[in-house]
């Protein structure tokens, strides 16, 4: 709380115990599950050439235009900190030749976006995401969504909703934009200010405007899907059918808009009510990204760890549940016992025991209090008497019982 000259940056926070226990659970469960699905971990640099993001996410998107940490380094090179994970991943895979066109990778990494912080939005935030490259195939998309659902389940998250839609093939973009514009034209004067601007810049944004008046108008006009080629709609249907076979329910929402340029065909979003205005905990879709000679097709998703954590908390899942517990606490009475206990602690720790002790000469009462506070299950007491006899007193903190035991036996049974 103490604000100082050397405080951390706005929207960037330090993560420590107990909260960190939840982070570790999330990461551990993710790695386990990704292994089951045959995904390998990929760690890409935080910094990339600015062009990587411009080219893949899109030059005109808000993410690139107003949210990135972009700067020139000492050599005048234009760089940016990754605002999302797909671009860097595909930049890597695009350089892997044949192998990169049929890969399954996942990442757990920090992302950076220079926006004003608010609920569920940090300037440094963290995502766990996957990418599976390969030619468009509805089954691949369905499997990716299945993986995502399994992931949320593995974390114990309940109450999330999945919405799905399609952006159609690239060739559908123009007809969709034209079609929507034409349909909206008669209502132009009734749209909100933003939408009057958006109708030219990015019609799709009009579709998901939260303004009530705009929403009503949008309900009256045909959905974007109706301006797409038949094959594009069939592709979405195939994904939905495959999901149904796996027992995964989705809500089709033609108004779902995903802003990044690289998406084609299937797009989806997971929302959770716990979150407030930023209610998406995960988003994904099929894409096509040209960062090399050949465009890399693939499908993937990313989950926001911070947002998952707030959602988990409303499910009653807390960090404390994953806190390390129990262990042994050593109590030393006198300097000799203290020195000997240092040795004992080392031996116990070498055998994998969680073991703590006071390193200063404190009263027994103080040491016992600390042992209790640290949640020790067992306390080992050593004073001059025990030292002389080669024994220790072993106390069970739960029921308060204690007995004198041979030091060797204690180490052997640890």
Residue numbers 178-207 binding RNA by CB under 7 A: 194, 198, 205
The residues with which 179 forms a beta bridge, in sequence order, are: none
Member of 40, 182, 385, 408 binding RNA (CB under 7 A)? 385
DSSP at 11: T
| Selection from 5, 66, 55, 122 nearest residue 295 by Cα | 55
**Is-cis flag, bond preceding 68, omega within 30?**
no
User: At what angle are helices 305-314 and 19-36 packed, to 10 degrees?
Assistant: 110
The DSSP bridge pattern shows strands 280-289 and 251-252 to be: unpaired
**C-beta closer to RNA: residue 234 or 363:** 363
**By the 8 A CB rule, do 78 and 50 touch?**
yes
Q: Does residue 116 interact with RNA by CB under 7 A?
A: yes
Which residues, numbered 79-108, are part of the site for RNA (CB under 7 A)? 84
Residues 209-228 that bind RNA (CB under 7 A): 209-210
Give CA–CA dist 108/303, Å, rounded.
9
CA distances from residue 111 to 1, 128, 267, 303 in whole angstroms, order as listed = 25, 10, 21, 12
Helix or strand or coil: residue 356? strand
- Residue 167 φ then ψ, to 5°: -95, -5
Query: What residues does 330 pair with on adjacent strands?
Result: 357, 380
**Binders of RNA in range 279-308 (CB under 7 A):** 279-283, 302-304, 306-307
Least Cα distance to 84 among 246, 300, 276 occurs for 300
Q: Which of 38, 352, 390, 400 binds RNA (CB under 7 A)?
A: 400
Among positions 330-359, residues that touch RNA (CB under 7 A) are 333
In the bound complex, what is the minimum distance in angstroms from residue 17's beta carbon to RNA? 13
Of residues 72 and 77, the one with the C-beta less far from RNA: 72
Which x/- pattern, by CB under 7 A, does the window 247-266 give for RNA? ----------xxxx------
Candidates 229, 315, 397, 414; binder of RNA (CB under 7 A) is 397
Q: Which of 246, 248, 252, 255 is nearest to 164 (CA)?
A: 252
Q: Is 364 in the site for RNA (CB under 7 A)?
A: yes
Q: Which of 158, 161, 402, 414 binds RNA (CB under 7 A)?
A: 402
Size of interface with RNA, in residues (CB under 7 A): 75
Strand 104-112 and strand 78-81: the pairing is: unpaired
Report the nearest approach of RNA to the CB of residue 99 (Å): 26
Q: Is 122 in the site for RNA (CB under 7 A)?
A: yes
Q: Between 120 and 297, whose beta carbon lies closer to RNA? A: 120
For RNA, give the closer residue by CB, 134 or 259: 259
- Closest approach of Cβ 329 to RNA, in Å? 10
43-82 positions binding RNA, by CB under 7 A: 61-63, 67
């Amino acid at each position: 709380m103490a604000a100082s000259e050397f405080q951390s940056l706005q929207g960037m926070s330090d993560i420590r115990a107990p909260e960190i226990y939840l982070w570790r659970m999330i990461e551990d469960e993710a790695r386990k599950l990704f292994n089951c699905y045959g995904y390998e971990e990929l760690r890409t640099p935080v910094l990339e050439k600015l062009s990587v993001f411009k080219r893949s996410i899109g030059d005109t998107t808000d993410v690139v235009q107003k949210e990135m940490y972009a700067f020139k380094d000492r050599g005048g090179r234009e760089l940016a900190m990754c605002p999302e994970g797909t671009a860097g991943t595909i930049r890597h895979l695009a350089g892997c030749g044949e192998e990169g066109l049929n890969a399954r990778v996942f990442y757990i990494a920090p992302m950076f976006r220079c926006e004003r912080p608010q609920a569920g939005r940090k300037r440094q935030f963290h995502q766990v995401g996957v990418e599976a490259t390969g030619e468009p195939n509805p089954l691949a998309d369905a499997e990716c969504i299945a993986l995502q659902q399994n992931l949320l389940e593995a974390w114990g998250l309940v109450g999330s909703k999945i919405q799905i839609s399609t952006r159609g093939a690239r060739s559908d973009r123009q007809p969709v934009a034209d079609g929507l514009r034409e349909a909206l034209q008669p209502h132009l004067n009734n749209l909100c200010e933003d939408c009057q601007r958006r109708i030219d810049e990015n019609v799709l944004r009009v579709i998901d405007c939260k303004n009530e008046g705009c929403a009503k108008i949008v309900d009256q006009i045909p959905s974007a899907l109706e301006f797409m080629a038949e094959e594009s709609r069939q592709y979405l249907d195939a994904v939905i059918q495959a999901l149904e076979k796996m027992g995964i329910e989705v809500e089709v929402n033609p108004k779902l808009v995903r802003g990044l340029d690289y998406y084609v065909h299937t797009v989806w979003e997971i929302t959770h009510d716990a979150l407030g205005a930023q209610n998406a905990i995960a988003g994904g879709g099929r894409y096509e990204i040209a960062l090399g000679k050949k465009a890399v097709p693939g499908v993937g998703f990313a989950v926001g760890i911070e947002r998952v954590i707030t959602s988990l908390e409303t499910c009653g899942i807390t960090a404390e549940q994953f806190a390390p517990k129990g262990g042994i606490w050593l109590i030393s009475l006198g300097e000799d016992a203290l020195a000997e206990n240092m040795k004992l602690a080392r031996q116990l720790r070498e055998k994998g025991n969680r073991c703590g002790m006071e390193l200063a000469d404190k009263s027994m009462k103080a040491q016992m209090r600390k042992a209790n506070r640290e949640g020790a299950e067992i306390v080992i007491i050593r004073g001059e008497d025990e030292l002389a006899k080669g024994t220790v007193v072993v106390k069970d903190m739960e029921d308060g019982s204690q007995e004198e035991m041979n030091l060797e036996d204690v180490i052997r049974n640890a």
